[in-house]
C-alpha cells in the first residue's frame, strides 16, 4: 500500500511541536517515545503499519481545539483515532503525522429519556452507550461486531452499521448532532437534540467522512426502548439461489426481521467446528431474527416458516429458548474468530443488489479457483452487504498481494452489478485506489471540493479515501 | 423564461449555458421562501421509473417522476414510501403534480419520521447536474453504502441550491397489514408531550405521535400484533385520561390530514418548528405570552406547526431556536426575511462554502436558504 513519503520538513518540527503540545495538554497528554508510539502504528487492518511522529490524548473538546490549532499553525497532518478498530486503515498514521486519540473522552454528558436521546463524548465505546441507558431498558441501535471496543467517534467517521441495521438503520440514521473541532481549532455545533437540519444537512455529510472534515468530540444519539423479546430461526438450504429467493420472499411478505444473516458452506463448516453451534450440513444457511412479545414472535416465525417451507429447506430450526437462540447465533457471531483460527484472512465489505447474490457468489467461486485461494462468505442478506473472507498465508511471500488482487476483483464485481465497494467498513487506505472504479473523476472531484471547504490545508487524514493520484494536486497545493 | 429539459444531457447543456440564475422546480407545489431569480428551470420533464426491485426494497426514478406514479407502482406491490411525504398543495394552496425530486430536495417527511426516519434516511443515491453543468453521481441503489462522502444527505433538503437532481434511488418498505390509532383527550402541550413520550418510550413501536386537538398515537403491523400493542399502550396511557380507538380507514384519513396539516390551510401565516420534544412546551409557553396562534404537534412533540391569521410568528420562532437549538421555517409568511433558520456563523460559513463549490456561479435558487 503506497502512502505519501514522510515530509522531512515536518519531521524536523517534532521537538518544537512536542513542546507546544505538552504546554497545552500536559506531559501525560502527549506521547513521543518510539516504544509508546508503536501502540498507534496500525488499526485493525494490521497488514500495514507505521508509527506516527506523535500521539496526543486530549480530555475535552477544548483540549482537542488547542491541539488542532497548533498542528494547523505548524502544518502538521493529523490522523484522528477512536479505538483503532477500523478494518480499512482509517486510523493508520504516516510517519510525519500526529495521532489524535479520543480514548480519554468517555463521559456521558446528558440523558433525556423523554426525548429519547443521549449525549456522550466521542471516545465512549458503542456498547458503553447502551450500557449507560440499559437500566431504563433503552439501547443504542447500531451494533458493529466490534461494539465492545469501537468508539462512537469511529462509528460517526465510518457511518458504521451492524447486524441489526436492517430494522434500525446505521449510524447516520441514529445520529442527531455533533460537536466537531475544525482543523484550525474552531468548535462547531452541527445538529443537536432536534430532528433534521434547518439548513443544509451537514450532519449527514460529516457522518461517514472518515475523519477528513473535522474531529467529532461529542455526539447526540437516538436511543430506543428495547423490544420485549427477540428470537432467531435457522434455515438451511441446498443452494444459494434458493436461500436468496427465500430472503426476497420474506421481505416481500411484509415481515421486517431485525436481522437476516447468510453463510455459505465453507463458513457453516468452519463456524460449526469452532463454536459447536450444531449447524446442518448444507450449502447455505440463513439466520433470521424477529422481535416483539412472545405471541408476536410466534406469529412472525409462523409466517417465515410457511415461506421457507415453499423453498424445501434442508432444516428449519426455531429457537424455543434463550439457550437455543444463543447456539444459533454462536457460530455466526464467532465467524471472524473461527476463520482467524484456521488461516490469515482478508475481510471484504462490498454491497450488491440482493437479486445479484447467486450470480456474485458463483463468480467469487470462479475467482477462488483462478487465484488459488479459498474464500468463505457471510452476508447481511437483508441489505446486500457482503463479507467475503479470503484466506491467505501471511508468511508466504506474495500471498498477501494475490489476496489483494482477488479482493479488488470481487469489489469491482460488486460495482459492476450495481453495488458499491464498501457497505459499512469505509474506504480508508484499503479501498482508496478502487474509488475510480465506482466514481467518475468529476464525482470524486466534488467530494474533494467538500474537503477543501472544511480543511483547506488538507491536514486531516489526508492520504485516505481518495486515490493518491486524484488528491495529489490538492495535497501539494495546500503545503 | 421557463426552461424545460427532457433529458439529463439536455439539462446539463442548458445549465452550462446559463447566463442568469434560475428558480428550480419539480411540480412547483412546494415553493416556499424567496428566490432571487426571474427564470424558472422545471425538471418535471425528466421523468420515469428506471428500476424497481420489490424483493430488494429499492426503486430508482428520474427526479421529475410524479409522486403519484411512484406511489401507485409501489401500492401494486403492497409497498410504500414509508417516510410518508406530505402533500404541500393542501397547506399552500398550490396546483401541479408533486415530483419525487421535489420531495427529496425538500426532505419532506411526515408523521412516520419519528419512527422510521426522514426522507433523507431513505435516499440511497442521486444523480444531479452541478452549477457548472457537470453530471455527477453519489451513493447508489443499495441499502448500505459508505463509499466516499455522503453527498446524498447533502442533496436531500438542499432545496435545489446545490444542483438539479435528475435521478434518485430510494429504499421502499412493505405496507403493514393493518393500522389503528389511539386518541387521548389531553389538551395542555406539556401533558401531550408527556403522553407521547410515554408511548414512544415503550417497546410498542408507535409510528405516529401527534396532537391536533387530541393526542393521537398510531400502531401499524400484523393484525394480532396491532391488537396486542393497542391494549398494552392503553393500559400505559390511562393515567393521562380516557383513551379511544380509531380503526383502519378512519385512522388512515386522520394521519393523512395530520401529514398535510390540513387544518391550517385557511391560515395566512404558518411556521414549522423542530425542537427537542421536552423543550417544545417551554417554547410554546413563551410564544403564547406575546402571540396568538394555533398549534399542531407532530413527531412526539419534536415538531410544531404554528398558524395564525395576522401574527407572523416566524421571526420569534427563529430567534428562539437560535438561542436554544432547533430550527424554524417560515412556510407561509408574507413578511418573511428568509424562510429558513439563520445558521450560527461558523456553520453558515461551511454551508456557504459548500454551496459555492456545488454552484460557483450562484445559479441555483440564490438567496433561498441564506441571504448572502
Q: Quick one: what percent of chain A has pLDDT higher than 70?
A: 100
Element (H, E) at A219: strand A215-222
Model confidence pLDDT, tens digit, residues A386-408: 999 999 999 999 999 999 999 99
What ipTM was estimated for this complex?
A: 0.98
Does the CA dihedral A25-A27-A28-A31 come out positive or negative?
positive
B330 touches chain A (CB under 8 A): no
What are the residues whose beta carbons fall under 8 Å from the beta carbon of A116, sequence distance 6 or more?
A138, A222, A223, A224, B197, B200, B201
Residues 239-268 on B with a CB inside 8 Å of A are: none
Asked if B179 and B226 touch (Cβ cutoff 8 Å), the reply is yes
Q: What is the pLDDT of residue A164?
A: 87
How far off is chain B from A192, nearest CA to CA, in Å? 7
Residues of chain B found within 8 Å of residue A254, distances taken between Cβ atoms: 78, 174-177, 222
Confidence check: pLDDT of B360 > 90: yes
**Which CATH number among 3.30.43.10, 3.40.50.150, 3.30.465.10, 3.20.20.190 corresponds to the domain B2-173?**
3.30.465.10
Mutation for B interface: A139, A161, A196, A470, most B CBs within 10 A: A196
Residues of chain B found within 8 Å of residue A169, distances taken between Cβ atoms: 117, 121
- Chain A residue with CA closest to B176: the answer is A254
Mutation for B interface: A162, A189, A198, A450, most B CBs within 10 A: A198
- Average of pLDDT values for B19-35? 95
Q: How many Å separate Cα B328 from the centre of its chain?
A: 13
A197 touches chain B (CB under 8 A): yes
Q: Who among A204, A354, A424 is closest to B120 (CB)?
A: A204
- Average of pLDDT values for A352-369? 93
Residues 38-77 on B with a CB inside 8 Å of A are: 53-58, 77
Residues of chain B found within 8 Å of residue A354, distances taken between Cβ atoms: 53, 55-56
Model confidence pLDDT, tens digit, residues A218-248: 999 999 999 999 999 999 999 998 999 999 8
CA contacts within 13 A on the Cβ side of A149: 9
Strands B123-129 and B164-171: antiparallel
Q: What is the pLDDT of residue A477?
A: 80
How far off is chain B from A150, nearest CA to CA, in Å? 17
- Average of pLDDT values for A6-15? 97
Within this chain, domains B176-260 and B262-333 share the same CATH topology: yes
Inter-chain residue contact A251 with B279, CB threshold 8 Å: no
Asked if A393 and A386 touch (Cβ cutoff 8 Å), the reply is no
Model confidence pLDDT, tens digit, residues B193-229: 999 999 999 999 999 999 999 999 999 999 999 999 9
Cα–Cα distance, A357 to A350 (Å, whole number): 12
Strand, coil or helix: A387: strand
- Average of pLDDT values for A9-21? 98
The mean pLDDT of chain A is 95
Q: Which strands make up the sheet holding B123-129, listed edge to edge?
A: B49-53, B58-62, B164-171, B123-129, B135-139
Q: What is the dihedral of CA A55, A59, A65, A69, to 10 degrees?
A: -30
Asked if B104 and B171 touch (Cβ cutoff 8 Å), the reply is no
Single pTM value for the model: 0.97
- Average of pLDDT values for B297-322? 94
Q: Which triple of cell numbers denotes residue A367? A: 475467482
Q: Who among B136, B344, B354 is closest to A443 (CB)?
A: B136
Model confidence pLDDT, tens digit, residues A272-299: 999 999 999 999 999 999 999 999 999 9
Confidence check: pLDDT of A103 > 70: yes
Q: What is the pLDDT of residue B372?
A: 60
Confidence grade of residue A263 (pLDDT, cut at 50, 70, 90): very high
Report domain extents, chain B: 2-173, 176-260, 262-333
Q: What is the pLDDT of residue A148?
A: 93
- Average of pLDDT values for B12-24? 97
Q: What is the dihedral of CA A198, A204, A209, A214, to 10 degrees?
A: 30
Model confidence pLDDT, tens digit, residues A116-147: 999 999 999 999 999 999 999 999 999 998 99
Confidence check: pLDDT of A76 > 90: yes
Q: Which fold has domain B262-333?
A: Alpha-Beta Plaits (3.30.70)
Model confidence pLDDT, tens digit, residues A401-445: 999 999 999 999 999 999 999 999 999 999 999 999 999 999 999
Confidence grade of residue B189 (pLDDT, cut at 50, 70, 90): very high
- Average of pLDDT values for B113-130? 98
Cα–Cα distance, A314 to B345 (Å, whole number): 62
Cα–Cα distance, B366 to B35 (Å, whole number): 6
Q: What is the pLDDT of residue A479?
A: 67
Secondary structure in 3-state letters for chain B: CEECCCCHHHHHHHHHCCCCCEEEECCCCCCCCCCCCCEEEECCCCCCEEEEEHHHCEEEEECCCEHHHHHHHHHHCCEECCCCCCCHHHHHCCCCCCEHHHHHHCCCCCCCHHHHCCHHHHEEEEEEECCCCCEEEEECCCCCCCCCCCHHHHHCCCCCCCCEEEEEEEECEECCCEEEEEEECCCCHHHHHHHHHHHHCCCCCCCEEEEECEEEEEEEECHHHHHHHHHHHHHHHHHHCCEEEEEHHHHHHHHHHHHCCHHHCCCCEEEEEECCHHHHHHHHHHHHHHCCCEEEEEHHHCEEEEEECCCCCHHHHHHHHHHHCCEEEEEECCCCCCCCCCCCHHHHHHHHHHHHHHCCCCCECCCCCCCC
Cα–Cα distance, A91 to A42 (Å, whole number): 7
Model confidence pLDDT, tens digit, residues A312-344: 999 999 999 999 999 999 898 888 889 999 999
Q: What is the pLDDT of residue B20?
A: 97
A293 touches chain B (CB under 8 A): yes
Kindly report the CATH number that applies to the domain delimited by B176-260: 3.30.70.920
C-alpha closest to that of B276 among B325, B330, B337: B325
B291 touches chain A (CB under 8 A): no
Amino acid at each position: 500500500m503506497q502512502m505519501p513519503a514522510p515530509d522531512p520538513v515536518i519531521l524536523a518540527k517534532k521537538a518544537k511541536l512536542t513542546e507546544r503540545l505538552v504546554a497545552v495538554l500536559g506531559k501525560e497528554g502527549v506521547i513521543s517515545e518510539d516504544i509508546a508510539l508503536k501502540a498507534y502504528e496500525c488499526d485493525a487492518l494490521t497488514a500495514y503499519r507505521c508509527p506516527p511522529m506523535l500521539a496526543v490524548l486530549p480530555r475535552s473538546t477544548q483540549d482537542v481545539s488547542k491541539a488542532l490549532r497548533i498542528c494547523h499553525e505548524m502544518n502538521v497532518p493529523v490522523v484522528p483515532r477512536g479505538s483503532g478498530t477500523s478494518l480499512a486503515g482509517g486510523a493508520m498514521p504516516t510517519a510525519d503525522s500526529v495521532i489524535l486519540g479520543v480514548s480519554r473522552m468517555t463521559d456521558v454528558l446528558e440523558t433525556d429519556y423523554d426525548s429519547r436521546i443521549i449525549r456522550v463524548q466521542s471516545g465512549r465505546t458503542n456498547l458503553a452507550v447502551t450500557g449507560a441507558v440499559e437500566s431504563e431498558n433503552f439501547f443504542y441501535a447500531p451494533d458493529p461486531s466490534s461494539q465492545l471496543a469501537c468508539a462512537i467517534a469511529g462509528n460517526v467517521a465510518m457511518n458504521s452499521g451492524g447486524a441489526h441495521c436492517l430494522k434500525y438503520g446505521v449510524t447516520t440514521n441514529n445520529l442527531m448532532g455533533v460537536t466537531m473541532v475544525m482543523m484550525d481549532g474552531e468548535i462547531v455545533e452541527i445538529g443537536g437534540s432536534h430532528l433534521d437540519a434547518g439548513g443544509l444537512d451537514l450532519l449527514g455529510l460529516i457522518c461517514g467522512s472518515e475523519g477528513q472534515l473535522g474531529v467529532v468530540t461529542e455526539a447526540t444519539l437516538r436511543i430506543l426502548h428495547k423490544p420485549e423479546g427477540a428470537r432467531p430461526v435457522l434455515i438451511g438450504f441446498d443452494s444459494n439461489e434458493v436461500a436468496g429467493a427465500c430472503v426476497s420472499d420474506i421481505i416481500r411478505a411484509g415481515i421486517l426481521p431485525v436481522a437476516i444473516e447468510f453463510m455459505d458452506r465453507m463458513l457453516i463448516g468452519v463456524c460449526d467446528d469452532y463454536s459447536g453451534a450444531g449447524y446442518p450440513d448444507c450449502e447455505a444457511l440463513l439466520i433470521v431474527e424477529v422481535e416483539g412479545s412472545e405471541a408476536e414472535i410466534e406469529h412472525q416465525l409462523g409466517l417465515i416458516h410457511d415461506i421457507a417451507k415453499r423453498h424445501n429447506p434442508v432444516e428449519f430450526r426455531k429457537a424455543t429458548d434463550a439457550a437455543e437462540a444463543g447456539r444459533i447465533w454462536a457460530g455466526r457471531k464467532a465467524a471472524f474468530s473461527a476463520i482467524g483460527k484456521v488461516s490469515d484472512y482478508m475481510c471484504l465489505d462490498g454491497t450488491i443488489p440482493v437479486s445479484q447474490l447467486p450470480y456474485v457468489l458463483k463468480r467469487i467461486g470462479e475467482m477462488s479457483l483462478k487465484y488459488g485461494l479459498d474464500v468463505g462468505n457471510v452476508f447481511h442478506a437483508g441489505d446486500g452487504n457482503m463479507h467475503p473472507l479470503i484466506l491467505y498465508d501471511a508468511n508466504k511471500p506474495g500471498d498477501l498481494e494475490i489476496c489483494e488482487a482477488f479482493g479488488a476483483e470481487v469489489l469491482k464485481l460488486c460495482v459492476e452489478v450495481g453495488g458499491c465497494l464498501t457497505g459499512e467498513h469505509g474506504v480508508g487506505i484499503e479501498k482508496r485506489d478502487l474509488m475510480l472504479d465506482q466514481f467518475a473523476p468529476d464525482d470524486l472531484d466534488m467530494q474533494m471540493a467538500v474537503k477543501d471547504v472544511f480543511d483547506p490545508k488538507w491536514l486531516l487524514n489526508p492520504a485516505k479515501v481518495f486515490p493518491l493520484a486524484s488528491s495529489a494536486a490538492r495535497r501539494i497545493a495546500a503545503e | 423564461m421557463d426552461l424545460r429539459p427532457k433529458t439529463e444531457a439536455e439539462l446539463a447543456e442548458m445549465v452550462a449555458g446559463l447566463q442568469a440564475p434560475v428558480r428550480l422546480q419539480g411540480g412547483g407545489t412546494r415553493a416556499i421562501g424567496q428566490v432571487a431569480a426571474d427564470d424558472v428551470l422545471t425538471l418535471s420533464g425528466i421523468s420515469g421509473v428506471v428500476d424497481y426491485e420489490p424483493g430488494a426494497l429499492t426503486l430508482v426514478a428520474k427526479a421529475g417522476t410524479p409522486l403519484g406514479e411512484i406511489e401507485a407502482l409501489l401500492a401494486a406491490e403492497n409497498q410504500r414510501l414509508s417516510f410518508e411525504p406530505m402533500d404541500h398543495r393542501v397547506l399552500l394552496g398550490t396546483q401541479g403534480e408533486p415530483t419525487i425530486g421535489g420531495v427529496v430536495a425538500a426532505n419532506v417527511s411526515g408523521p412516520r419520521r419519528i419512527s422510521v426516519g426522514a426522507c433523507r434516511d431513505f435516499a440511497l443515491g442521486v444523480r444531479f447536474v452541478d452549477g457548472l453543468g457537470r453530471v455527477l453521481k453519489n451513493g447508489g441503489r443499495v441499502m448500505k453504502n459508505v463509499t466516499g462522502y455522503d453527498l446524498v444527505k447533502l442533496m436531500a433538503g438542499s432545496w435545489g441550491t446545490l444542483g438539479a437532481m435528475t435521478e434518485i434511488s430510494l429504499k421502499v418498505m412493505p405496507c403493514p397489514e393493518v393500522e389503528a390509532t389511539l386518541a387521548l383527550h389531553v389538551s395542555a402541550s406539556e401533558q401531550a408531550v408527556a403522553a407521547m413520550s410515554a408511548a414512544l418510550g415503550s417497546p410498542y413501536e408507535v409510528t405516529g405521535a401527534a396532537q391536533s386537538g387530541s393526542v393521537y398515537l398510531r400502531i401499524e403491523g400484523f393484525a394480532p400484533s396491532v391488537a396486542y400493542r393497542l391494549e398494552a399502550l392503553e393500559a400505559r396511557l390511562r393515567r393521562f385520561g380516557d383513551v379511544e380507538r380509531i380503526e383502519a380507514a378512519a385512522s388512515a384519513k386522520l394521519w393523512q390530514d395530520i401529514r398535510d396539516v390540513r387544518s391550517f390551510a385557511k391560515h395566512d401565516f404558518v411556521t414549522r418548528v423542530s425542537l427537542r420534544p421536552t423543550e417544545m412546551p417551554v417554547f410554546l409557553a413563551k410564544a403564547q405570552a406575546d402571540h396568538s396562534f394555533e398549534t399542531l404537534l407532530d413527531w412526539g412533540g419534536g415538531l410544531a406547526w404554528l398558524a395564525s391569521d395576522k401574527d407572523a410568528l416566524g421571526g420569534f420562532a427563529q430567534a428562539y431556536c437560535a438561542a436554544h437549538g432547533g430550527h424554524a421555517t417560515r412556510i407561509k409568511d408574507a413578511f418573511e426575511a428568509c424562510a429558513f433558520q439563520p445558521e450560527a456563523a461558523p456553520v453558515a460559513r461551511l454551508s456557504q462554502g459548500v454551496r459555492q463549490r456545488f454552484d460557483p456561479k450562484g445559479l441555483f435558487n440564490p438567496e433561498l436558504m441564506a441571504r448572502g
